[in-house]
Amino acid sequence: MKLKLKIWRQLNANTPGKLVDYQLEGVEEDMSFLEMLDYLNEKLILSDERPVEFDHDCREGICGTCGLFINGRAHGPLAGTSTCQLHMRSFSDGDTIYIEPFRGGAFKVTRDLKIDRSAFDRIIMAGGFISTPVGDAPEANAIPITHDEAESAFDSAACIGCGACVATCKNGSAALFTSAKITHLAKLPQGKAEAQQRALGMIAQMDAEGFGHCSNTKACQVECPQEISVTNIDRMNWEFNKAKVLK
């Protein structure tokens, strides 16, 4: 397979970037998208050129670090698929592929396709946890919760924090990410004790980071690789309003 790649190259956060053209031959359809970039980098290194920098870790669709804008869509053309799980069989010989970093809200490009997602970490630090004694795990039946409640909480907890929701949103909102973390714990008995503090703290931190406001376009849900529902945003708003009343 022969491809024409248009890749965003940027030396650092303080210098302007631009799309640079690359011709790549010998791409196999069974390569993942990141393996294709590895293949390109091997050729660039052999030519004494600076390789393209991009984020990745597990390459199993779990860690959320590999997010790229591919042909104008977060994570590429397939629904419910992260960049590392996208394969080159989704493209055709002779295609032109535009590859850019996620942008929006508090996300800043640090080099090439790498972005700074530390704003998400600070939102989690503001309340995305429970305070509990350490030690042995409690007996499974000691905390009463129905199967449906557990499954619903797990659906919210499936968020991998990739940032596709922010990059896709026209306002650069982090509402889907933040709401998934708030809702996950609000649905569990362990999270109820700090629910008010959590909602107030995480939303305040989200605003402080410079993310935009949600205008309910639902684009975030469409592009989320884990298909996190926007109903989490409804629950977040309810938890926030309840906390403000009871404060």
CA gap 125, 118 in Å, rounded? 11
pLDDT in tens, 25-53: 999 999 999 999 999 999 999 999 999 99
CA gap 118, 44 in Å, rounded? 29
Which residues partner with 71 through β-bridges? none
pLDDT in tens, 188-224: 998 999 999 999 999 999 999 999 999 999 999 999 9
Q: How confident is the model at residue 230 (pLDDT cuts 50, 70, 90)?
A: very high
Element at 4 (helix H, strand E): strand 3-9
**What are the structural domains of the chain?**
3-111 (3.10.20.30), 117-246 (1.10.1060.10)
Element at 150 (helix H, strand E): helix 147-157
DSSP reduced 3-state for 56 = coil
DSSP reduced 3-state for 77 = coil
Q: What is the pTM of this model?
A: 0.93
Supply the mean pLDDT for the chain. Answer: 94
Structure tokens at 100: 């850019």
Contacts of 236 (CB under 8 A, 6+ apart): 175, 178, 179, 182, 183, 199, 203
Contact 219, 171 (CB under 8 A): no
